[in-house]
Amino acid sequence: MSGRMRLPHGGQVDHEKPLSFTFNGKTYTGLAGDTLASALLANGVHLVGRSFKYHRPRGIVTAGPEEPNALVQVGEDPRTDPNMKATQLELVEGLSARSQNAWPSVEFDIGAVNTLAARAIPAGFYYKTFMWPASAWKTYEHVIRRAAGLGTSPQQRDPDRYDKTYAHCDVLVVGAGPAGLAAALAAGRSGARVVLVEQDHLLGGALLNASEEMIDGVPALDWVRSAETELAQMPNLRILRRTVAYGAFDHGFYGLMENVTDHLAEAPDHLPRHRLWKLRAAKAVFCCGAIERPLVFADNDRPGVMTASSVQSYVNRYALKPGKRAVVFTNNDSGYGAALDMTAAGIEVAAVIDLRAAPGGPLTERAEAAGLRILADHAIIGTAGKKRVTKVRVAELSAEGDAVVGTAEEIDCDLVAVSGGWNPTVHLFCHAKGSLEWDEDHACFVPGKAMQAGQQVAGSANGAFGLAACLAEGAEAGAAAAAEAGFEPGAAVTAESDDRDFLPGRWMWLVPSDKPLGQKAKHFVDQQNDVTAADLKLALREGYVSIEHVKRYTTTGMATDQGKLGNVNAIGIVAEAFGRPLPEVGVTTFRPPFTPVSFGIFAGRDVDDLLDPLRRTPMHAWHERNGALFEDVGQWRRPWYYPQFGEDMHQAVNREVKAVRESLGVLDASTLGKIDIQGPDAAEFLNRVYTNAWKKLDIGKARYGLMLGEDGMVMDDGVTTRLGENHFLMTTTTGNAAPVLAHLEDYLQTEWPDLQVYLTSVTEQFATITLSGPNARTLMAELSDAELSPNALPHMGYTAAKVAGVPARIFRISFTGELSYEINVPASFGMAVWQTVMTAGERYGITPYGTEAMHVLRAEKGYIIVGQETDGSVTPLDLDMGWAVSKTKDFIGKRSLTRADMQKPDRKQLVGILTQDPKEVLPEGAQLVEGVLPQPPMPMLGHVTSSYYSPNCGRSIAMALIKGGLARKGETLYAPLEGGKTVACVVAESPVFFDPEGKRLNG
């Protein structure tokens, strides 16, 4: 038996498939096809949590995504999810869930003392009480959050896998109710590519909850089944079940979250848990249905008070009795549907309380005919019951409807089915910035003008509440969407049905009671955030005018249900209090997601070692095998240093640095950006993009160049070689390869399209092996057929020859200050040539060195690194590199160098820094001051950009950007460090600390 309240047969549940589950530690049985909520109700469990602020007992209110109360924590760490709506959670064997907003238990809740102190917790209470002093909020917040609690996040790593994918279609149909099915049929029959999205696992939408609707002369669900069969056979149509269209974005871009395996007791290993669909749809039809509105009456939050349509859903779809004796409270005709369905299911309907003075409408008439007790022009003015409603108090309304008259009657009941009218589900339409209009007759906001072309709304989401209208609008919208997308219409979709609306209605935002508002009873507007009508009125008394501000102050409509139930009631109450028409008050902004989505889908498979590409050079495997530690340079992974025999970093780097100066080092420089430049105007082009002159560079010669932005700031540097009359190879820094190419293409295409130049990236065409050190030439001579004499291949010379039998480009350029060759070989040969070099170099003690040693070596020579010595605010003049800046030609950024601000004497300039204690190595980033004050702040002159211990100089060396630095040579400055230590240092005469004459370089 799947619960004592279960009906013996019927509904969309499988009575032959019992499923066992636990809630708050207790084991229950439900049926396949149940949600957690329906399974609990079938077992007579209404109480599922405690309210956010007052810890009042709360029960299941709805049967869908609008549920404010039945939020549960599912599963155990690490597979645990907070804030799951029991009304949408498909029951699965072994499901374990618990109330999340009750401590120590939902039955006995310590926090419920807040109920007694309720008058002390009005709207804005937290703001008023805890915001001063500001620092104390941190303390209060912990306590409040724990007491209130909206579930707990998993503490361990998520063990599940998530997927994301792009997708495209001609027509997206959201919602597979009658309108959506008709739209999908119409669009699908045209041959358009259609995606039909349904958050439920069953198609049918509201028809699943209905008892006796007919379409084309057959029961509605039979029609749904035949529609489903036809759709499933269309190769051009994809049905995504258990998928929520959570957001509509620009240009027909939609976010969908598909639940792939949560409904399976055992998830197959090869499937992701959830999938994000990044769907681009040319046209869209939103058939999202409508959500029934509750009525705002005194103590309307007791467990057992539910929306009338969800009562119908539980009776008809889930085959259960949510109560034994019910009262219906309505202001329109649709509430009577619940009365009739309950009666048919054997639930006693004690009375229908109707706010309308003259109840009418097709269902009302049937209820009258069935002899139900109907109390017209009456209201529920209070409820009773501790953990479940036990009775309601009912009284007659005054002539104006703003008060009650006469004596109240008490009616015993354990279920109250409430209908306050219907709100079209306009969320997606509003995400896409569609505008809303107020439908005075139906008292609801309906879609107005779409901002994005090709978006339509159909069915009750569009304010067409009758079934025939839903079907007709859906069919029409689906056909129109396909036609707009360029498809010939297929067979027309026709479906005959009744077109009963829920009118007439009497719209009353706040149901009067016999007590002053807010005293001894609460009229809840937003149950999830515990916002009452009194809170709204307080906010207005305190001067809030804009509905957006009222929302933020009272927090109405701000939690996981995003006001799906309460927003229009709140707006109505505010409008009434202001005496303004409701549409003038306006609506708050609808934002994605429609319902909460898991974080996992946004990460997808881009986690762990797929988080970001790790770019590997052709010799990467060698570095790994030889114990390199790596440094990330952009996405590249470069050898940092190669520790040997238990060396620490300092020892390893010192050894590598000395080996280069004393004999021979080898560096994998493949990551340097390389741009192939060809064309008759190549030299002219370089002349315009570099600060120095290029036209007279000889073929076979290389030159250092500085590249600026138009703002005059250094953007990149590198060596460019003239390979032929109209052919250059530019190198860029590793990190700037792509930005520099983009920068060059920009000027070439947009400013100087007349220049005949083509640029091609060849960064990865070559493996670059740099040999550096006094023995570099000796080894090269053994490996290469190139002419290597200083005359044949001088510093800044280039030749093409073979190295280790492989065709190579050899550049005699140096970033270490040593005799140095950069050898470019085809990338696929990189590993072979590297290994040959290592073997042949053994007799010279060839030492692979990493980026750290490279940094020390270049710093010994005072060579800058763009991005380390520069930060986008540094000009060549600030770097004292005026020698590289032409006075006679224009180049990108030149004019900026003579702007008044660039001439200021206190600009930060690059200088060498030597600590007074040669062993002291300044931390990079250390601030330098003229004099140390007892405590900060003190005027800062600048900061250390590079700092190393140099074994070749036998002391520490550093560079710094200092205000007016070039005029401070010889001055003593101080670096006040963390922990109170101060390091004295001197501005060096030159930042070139090693071999200032460059003998080694030119040898």
Partner 1 sequence: MLVITCPYCGPRCESEFSNGGEAHIERPKDPESLSDAEWAEFVFLRNNPKGLLLERWNHAQGCRRWFNVARDTVTYEILAVYPMGSPPPALAPKRYV
Partner 2 sequence: MVESYLRQSALAHLGLEAQRARDEAAAAVRLHEKVLPAAVNLRGDGDDPAFLEAVAQALGLTLPLAPNTTASNAEVAILWLGPNEWLVIQHDAAPDAESHLATRLRNAPGDFHSAVTEVGESLVCIHLAGPRAADVIAKGCPLDLHPSVFGGAGRCAQSHLSKTAITLHQVSDEENGGPAFDLYTRRSFADYLWRWLSDAAREYNKA
User: How does 812-850 read in b/e, with b if 16+ C-beta sit within 10 Å?
Assistant: bbbbbbbbbbbbbbebebbbbbbebbbeebeebebbbbb
Q: Between 836 and 927, whose beta carbon lies closer to partner 2?
A: 836
291, 425 in Cβ contact below 8 A? yes
| β-strand partners of 675 | 730, 761
The C-alpha atoms of residue 834 and residue 580 are separated, in whole angstroms, by 81
The total number of residues written for the chain in this structure: 1003
CA distances for 358 relative to 355, 443, 447, angstroms: 9, 18, 30
Residue 766 interface partner, choices partner 2, partner 1, none, CB cut-off 5-8 Å depending on type:
partner 2
The correct pick among 166, 599, 602, 758 for binding partner 1 (CB under 8 A) is 166
Cis peptide upstream of residue 937 (ω within 30 degrees of 0): yes
Query: Under rule CB under 8 A, which residues in 447-476 are in contact with partner 1?
Result: 451-452
662, 849 in Cβ contact below 8 A? no
708, 875 in Cβ contact below 8 A? yes
**Shortest gap between Cβ of 750 and partner 2 (angstroms)?**
15
Q: Between 72 and 169, whose beta carbon lies closer to partner 1?
A: 169
Query: Does the protein bind partner 1 through residue 742 (CB under 8 A)?
Result: yes
Query: Under rule CB under 8 A, which residues in 700-739 are in contact with partner 1?
Result: 710-711
Q: Between 437 and 890, whose beta carbon lies closer to partner 1?
A: 890
**Cβ contacts of 297 within 8 Å, gap of 6 or more:** 329, 379, 380, 381, 511, 513, 523
Query: Does the protein bind partner 1 through residue 698 (CB under 8 A)?
Result: no
Query: Does the protein bind partner 1 through residue 894 (CB under 8 A)?
Result: yes
Query: Does the protein bind partner 1 through residue 896 (CB under 8 A)?
Result: yes
**Cβ contacts of 647 within 8 Å, gap of 6 or more:** 655
641, 849 in Cβ contact below 8 A? yes
Q: Between 50 and 674, whose beta carbon lies closer to partner 2?
A: 674
**Shortest gap between Cβ of 275 and partner 2 (angstroms)?**
9
**Shortest gap between Cβ of 633 and partner 2 (angstroms)?**
12
Q: Between 625 and 696, whose beta carbon lies closer to partner 2?
A: 625
Q: What is the DSSP string of 734-757?
A: GGGHHHHHHHHHHIIIII-TTS--
Q: Between 72 and 683, whose beta carbon lies closer to partner 2?
A: 683
Interhelix angle for 682-689 vs 737-746, to 10°?
A: 110
884, 704 in Cβ contact below 8 A? yes
The correct pick among 252, 289, 447, 850 for binding partner 1 (CB under 8 A) is 252
556, 511 in Cβ contact below 8 A? no
Residue 513 interface partner, choices partner 1, partner 2, none, CB cut-off 5-8 Å depending on type:
none
**Shortest gap between Cβ of 764 and partner 1 (angstroms)?**
16
**Shortest gap between Cβ of 851 and partner 2 (angstroms)?**
16
Residue 631 interface partner, choices partner 2, partner 1, none, CB cut-off 5-8 Å depending on type:
none
Q: Between 238 and 552, whose beta carbon lies closer to partner 2?
A: 238
Query: Does the protein bind partner 1 through residue 606 (CB under 8 A)?
Result: no
Q: What SS3 state is found at 184?
A: helix
Residue 764 interface partner, choices partner 1, partner 2, none, CB cut-off 5-8 Å depending on type:
partner 2
**Shortest gap between Cβ of 605 and partner 2 (angstroms)?**
5
Q: Between 152 and 828, whose beta carbon lies closer to partner 2?
A: 828
Residue 711 interface partner, choices partner 2, partner 1, none, CB cut-off 5-8 Å depending on type:
partner 1
Q: Between 246 and 336, whose beta carbon lies closer to partner 1?
A: 246
769, 826 in Cβ contact below 8 A? no
The correct pick among 119, 251, 549, 904 for binding partner 1 (CB under 8 A) is 251
The residues that touch partner 2, with contacts defined as CB under 8 A, are 163-168, 193, 268-272, 278, 280, 604-606, 609-610, 612-618, 620-621, 636, 676, 678-680, 756, 758, 760-766, 805-807, 826-832
Q: Between 631 and 764, whose beta carbon lies closer to partner 2?
A: 764
Residue 468: other Cβ atoms inside 10 A: 16
The C-alpha atoms of residue 911 and residue 966 are separated, in whole angstroms, by 7
**Cβ contacts of 640 within 8 Å, gap of 6 or more:** 628, 629, 630, 631, 850, 851, 852
Q: Between 433 and 802, whose beta carbon lies closer to partner 1?
A: 433
Residue 249 interface partner, choices partner 2, partner 1, none, CB cut-off 5-8 Å depending on type:
partner 1
The C-alpha atoms of residue 457 and residue 413 are separated, in whole angstroms, by 39
**Cβ contacts of 439 within 8 Å, gap of 6 or more:** 445, 446, 463
Residue 105 interface partner, choices partner 2, partner 1, none, CB cut-off 5-8 Å depending on type:
none
**Shortest gap between Cβ of 743 and partner 1 (angstroms)?**
11
Nearest to 172, CA basis, from 227, 249, 225, 64: 249
Place of tokens 């027509």: 171
The amino acid occupying position 193 is R
Query: Does the protein bind partner 1 through residue 612 (CB under 8 A)?
Result: no
Q: Between 121 and 762, whose beta carbon lies closer to partner 2?
A: 762
Query: Under rule CB under 8 A, which residues in 916-935 are in contact with partner 1?
Result: none
**Shortest gap between Cβ of 369 and partner 1 (angstroms)?**
53
12, 317 in Cβ contact below 8 A? yes
DSSP-derived letter for residue 900 is G
DSSP-derived letter for residue 344 is H
Query: Does the protein bind partner 1 through residue 750 (CB under 8 A)?
Result: yes
Query: Does the protein bind partner 1 through residue 4 (CB under 8 A)?
Result: no
The correct pick among 410, 412, 746, 785 for binding partner 1 (CB under 8 A) is 746
In this chain, which stretch among 245-253, 435-443, 454-462, 961-969 interacts with partner 1, using CB under 8 A?
A: 245-253
The C-alpha atoms of residue 79 and residue 893 are separated, in whole angstroms, by 56
**Shortest gap between Cβ of 904 and partner 1 (angstroms)?**
13
Q: Between 260 and 565, whose beta carbon lies closer to partner 2?
A: 260
Q: Between 363 and 757, whose beta carbon lies closer to partner 2?
A: 757
CA distances for 587 relative to 348, 437, 529, 551, 576, angstroms: 39, 10, 18, 10, 15
Q: Between 173 and 327, whose beta carbon lies closer to partner 2?
A: 173
The C-alpha atoms of residue 925 and residue 128 are separated, in whole angstroms, by 43
**Shortest gap between Cβ of 252 and partner 2 (angstroms)?**
12
Residue 193 interface partner, choices partner 1, partner 2, none, CB cut-off 5-8 Å depending on type:
partner 2
Nearest to 98, CA basis, from 25, 150, 21: 25
Residue 805 interface partner, choices partner 2, partner 1, none, CB cut-off 5-8 Å depending on type:
partner 2
- Retrieve residue 191's tokens: 């041959």
CA dihedral 586→589→594→597, nearest 10 degrees, is -160
Query: Does the protein bind partner 1 through residue 278 (CB under 8 A)?
Result: yes
> How many residues interact with partner 1 (rule CB under 8 A)?
26
Place of tokens 């439900």: 30
Query: Does the protein bind partner 1 through residue 900 (CB under 8 A)?
Result: yes
**Shortest gap between Cβ of 765 and partner 2 (angstroms)?**
4
The correct pick among 4, 142, 580, 895 for binding partner 1 (CB under 8 A) is 895
In this chain, which stretch among 233-241, 351-359, 653-661, 896-904 interacts with partner 1, using CB under 8 A?
A: 896-904
Q: What is the DSSP string of 663-680?
A: T-EEEE-TTSEEEEEEST
**Shortest gap between Cβ of 780 and partner 2 (angstroms)?**
19
The C-alpha atoms of residue 13 and residue 7 are separated, in whole angstroms, by 11
| β-strand partners of 58 | 49
Q: Between 465 and 728, whose beta carbon lies closer to partner 2?
A: 728
The amino acid occupying position 179 is A
Where along the sequence are the contacts to partner 1 (CB under 8 A)?
166, 249-253, 278, 280, 433, 451-452, 710-711, 742, 745-746, 749-751, 753, 890, 894-896, 899-900
